[in-house]
Amino acid sequence: MRRALERPERVTGAASALARVVERLTYGHDRHGQRWQLQVPCEGEPFKAARPLLLLLGLPTLGLALAISVLTTYGPVVLIHLTNSTSQVGALIGGEGAFALVVPLVSGALSDRLPGSPAARRFPFVLAGAPLIVAGLVLLPLSGSLALAAVAVLAFFVGYYLYYPPYRALYADLLPRPFYARAQSSQAILRGLGLGVALLAGGLLLSVWQPLPFAIAAFAVVATTFALSPLLRVENRCPNPVLPYETVSLRRLLRNGELRAFAGANALWEFSFGGLKSFIVLYVVRGLGRSPSLASAVIAVVAVAYIAGAPVAGRLADRYGIVPVLRVAALVYGVGLLAGVLPHTLIPVLIGLPFVALAGAIMMTLPQALAFTLAPLGSEGAAAGVQDFSRGLGLVLGPIAVGAAIDAFHGQLSSTHGYAAMWPVIGIPVLASLLFLRTLQPRRKAAYATQ
Q: Are 254 and 188 within 8 A, CB to CB?
A: no
Q: Phi and psi for 235 in degrees, rounded to 5?
A: -110, 135
Residue 424, pLDDT > 90, answer: yes
Residue 87's pLDDT band (boundaries 50, 70, 90)? low
Whether residues 202 and 79 share a domain: the answer is yes
Whether residues 218 and 80 share a domain: the answer is yes
Whether residues 269 and 218 share a domain: the answer is no
The per-residue pLDDT for 253 is 65
376: in domain: yes
The per-residue pLDDT for 90 is 65
Whether residues 330 and 212 share a domain: the answer is no
The per-residue pLDDT for 2 is 41
Whether residues 266 and 327 share a domain: the answer is yes
Whether residues 217 and 275 share a domain: the answer is no
419: in domain: yes
Distance CA 174, CA 169 (A): 9
Q: Which stretches within 321-345 are classed as H helix?
A: 322-339
121: in domain: yes
Q: What is the mean pLDDT of residues 9-18?
A: 43
169: in domain: yes
- Per the structure, the count of domains in the chain is 2
Whether residues 286 and 208 share a domain: the answer is no
446: in domain: no
The per-residue pLDDT for 264 is 92
Whether residues 162 and 257 share a domain: the answer is no
Whether residues 208 and 328 share a domain: the answer is no
Model-level pTM? 0.73
Q: What percent of the chain has pLDDT over 70?
A: 79
Going by C-beta distance under 8 Å and a sequence separation of 6 or more, which residues neighbour residue 317?
Answer: 181, 182, 325, 366, 369
List pLDDT tens digits, range 292-335.
667 767 777 777 777 788 888 888 888 888 899 999 999 999 99
Closest CA to 23 of 307, 310, 227, 182: 227
Residue 43, pLDDT > 80, answer: no
Q: Which amino acid is at 242?
A: V
Residue 6, domain extent: 2-29+45-233
Write the CATH number for 301. 1.20.1250.20
285: in domain: yes
More confident residue, 118 or 248: 118
List pLDDT tens digits, range 183-238.
777 787 888 788 778 777 776 787 788 889 899 999 999 999 998 888 777 666 66
Whether residues 300 and 428 share a domain: the answer is yes
204: in domain: yes
The residue from 233, 262, 289 where one domain ends is: 233
Q: Are 423 and 340 within 8 A, CB to CB?
A: yes
Q: What is the mean pLDDT of residues 169-189?
A: 78
Whether residues 267 and 359 share a domain: the answer is yes
Whether residues 295 and 229 share a domain: the answer is no
265: in domain: yes
